[in-house]
Structure 1
Amino acid sequence: MVTISLTIIFDAPYYKGVFEVRRNNLYSVAEINLGTSEPKLPLIHQLILDNWAKIDFFTKKSESRKEKVKINPKRLQRLARKETKRGVGTIAQMALKEQMSERKKEKKSKNSPYNELMKKKIFSIKQEKKKNKHNGH
């Protein structure tokens, strides 16, 4: 069973959409920027249709959940209203933080050799300047 939810939040000055996908015992979350103006339903619909494959989801295993029992429609409406007031769940926030920290580590490890090379290059240029400065003495 797959459940997908989209929560739109205003994180000044941008509107952001948080996709949460639950598949069996996997939990995936992605955040997209929707712009500065309030997104309309056709824009969101078109975004999902055109860019669903391009959305970068962060996936992690979630704890096993109980089988869902058929819920009364009125209770479902109350739960949906409650979810909209609450905003993005803490699970989504923690997963997005974890994704951001992993990306940061990847970027740092990717750029580390380049940064080291640049430091050595700058150091050698400074040493050369020092030697040229004391050339006649």
Structure 2
Amino acid sequence: MSNHQNGVELSKILIDLSGKVVFMLITASTASIAYILTQIKNDTWSDILHFPIYSLILLAISFLFGYIYLNKRLHVIHCNSIILQTSKDTHLLNEREKLFDDLEKNSPKLRLYASLQFITFIFGAFVYALYVFISIYLK
């Protein structure tokens, strides 16, 4: 294999792996939301009940960032596919330029949404852990 082919294969692996990580975090967010809701459903209202509510909000935001990431990733892959398929068509230069612009605009956002998804997931889990430790301490 040439260096170019190796680079293409590594790029495919990276794209596949990043999608799996995002999907895993979406699944973990959903499971965490369900778990927290089952844990606090019979609790009486208190000052520390704000912690699981904040945690639920952060996990829901994490889920949304993951969804936005996957949606933008599909759009980028679709644009890239069309650009590659029309590479020899000279009469489609304007359309290809629009797709290139769209690709350049959306590609940097992918990393941003993946990072925001991870950060909000970690903070959501941390806030819930803080709630558990505080409730243990107060009992």
The answer to which structure, 1 or 2, has the higher relative contact order (CA under 8 A, 6+ apart) is: 2
Please state which structure has a larger fraction of its residues in strand. Answer: 1
- The structure carrying a bigger helix percent of its residues is 2
Using the size of structure 1 for normalisation, the TM-score is 0.30
The structure whose Rg is larger is 1
